[in-house]
Amino acid sequence: MIQFPNCKINLGLSILEKRKDGFHALETVFYPVTLNDILEITKTINGQQNALVQFESSGNPIPGDVSSNLCVKAYHLLKTDFPQITPVTIHLHKKIPIGAGLGGGSSDGAAALSILNDLFQLKLSSTQLIQYAAQLGSDCPFFILNEACHATGRGEIMQPISINLSNYTMALIHPNIPISTGWAFQQITPAIKEKTIASIIQQPIATWKNELINDFEKPVFEAHPSLALIKNDLYEQGAIYASLSGSGSSLFGLFPKGTVFNPSSAFDKLKMDII
């Protein structure tokens, strides 16, 4: 079975407090974006079952040990509760940039849960899949719903929200600068905001520039000034709203329909992928 896990952007991201369990309470709006990986999971052929999971990948290199991949973790998570699940072969073609604040790994893990649910006829509901996804990672539950959602808690408490950006052209930029999520969280001083993202997001998009803030921008831009320059360039070329996504390093800009973002000559030496 094959699925095409997509990525997401964050429309605003507030870090509100450090929780007793070590996670951070946050508020954000997740919005799905149609940049996709390709994930295929098949039952391993009899006679080739030396391991429970055979993992293969292509496309963008995937760092780290295979055992830490969320697709593999999704298999073992379900295998614990459903021992009838047989060995599988997983092939992941990676197109979504890694460590870019776009949730590609989380999306892959959520897609793996969904495929395994169908492949082995586990009959898990969306609510149950969300519960399993929350055990994989804070962003994973969003990709089970995969529609614009207002998210709180550590990102797993979600409420679908009415917002449609189809009338805008989106420039999605990956500057090839790795940002550690753990490092980024360490730079944040959590604080309750005067105005919630839920209220700001319902305002005209023209008001978002000054009010819809991603808390990670300040420390990330201080550490990597070139990222701040990219955001400024997006605005100079006519973006109605521009922001870092997640903890970065990807940025996006929303332009009037039909506008195309062309990086200025100032970025000729900066490695960027315009997605």
Specify the pLDDT at position 164. 84
Same domain for 116 and 185, yes or no, is no
| Position 272 confidence tier, pLDDT thresholds 50, 70, 90 | very low
CA distance 239 to 217: 17
Note the pLDDT tens digit of each residue in 125-146: 999 999 999 999 989 999 999 9
| One-letter identity of residue 267 | F
CATH number at residue 254: 3.30.70.890
Say whether pLDDT at 245 is over 90.
yes
Same domain for 194 and 218, yes or no, is yes
Nearest CA to 31 out of 210, 168, 206 is that of 168
Nearest CA to 102 out of 217, 252, 268, 269 is that of 252
Say whether pLDDT at 15 is over 90.
yes
Note the pLDDT tens digit of each residue in 177-226: 888 888 999 999 999 999 999 999 999 999 999 999 999 999 999 999 99
Strands 251-256 and 168-174: antiparallel
Residue of 8, 73, 79, 231 marked active site: 8
Same domain for 194 and 122, yes or no, is no
Same domain for 40 and 111, yes or no, is yes
Residue that terminates a domain, selected from 102, 127, 160? 160
Nearest CA to 87 out of 48, 59, 122 is that of 48
Say whether pLDDT at 158 is over 70.
yes
Same domain for 84 and 110, yes or no, is yes
Same domain for 79 and 188, yes or no, is no
Same domain for 192 and 140, yes or no, is no
Residue 200 to residues 79, 139, 193, 210: CA-CA distances in angstroms? 42, 22, 11, 10
Same domain for 172 and 146, yes or no, is no
Q: What is the mean pLDDT of residues 13-24?
A: 89
Tell me how many domains the chain contains.
2
Note the pLDDT tens digit of each residue in 31-43: 999 999 999 999 9
Nearest CA to 25 out of 38, 16, 34 is that of 16
Residue that terminates a domain, selected from 112, 134, 160? 160
Domain of residue 100, residue span: 2-160
Same domain for 14 and 72, yes or no, is yes
Same domain for 132 and 215, yes or no, is no
Is cis: bond before 114, omega within 30 of 0?
Answer: no
Cross-strand bridge partners of residue 3: 39
Residue that terminates a domain, selected from 93, 127, 160? 160
* Number of neighbouring beta carbons within 10 Å of residue 20: 6
Residue of 37, 108, 139, 215 marked active site: 139
| Position 263 confidence tier, pLDDT thresholds 50, 70, 90 | low
Specify the pLDDT at position 271. 43
Please state which of the ranges 33-37, 67-71, 177-181, 245-249 shows the lowest mean pLDDT.
177-181
139 tagged catalytic: yes
CA distance 233 to 100: 19
Same domain for 116 and 209, yes or no, is no
65 tagged catalytic: no
CATH number at residue 57: 3.30.230.10
CA distance 173 to 245: 10
Same domain for 134 and 193, yes or no, is no
Side by side, the strands of the sheet bearing 6-18 are 6-18, 24-36, 149-152, 157-160
Would you say the C-alpha torsion 140, 146, 152, 157 has a positive or negative sign? negative
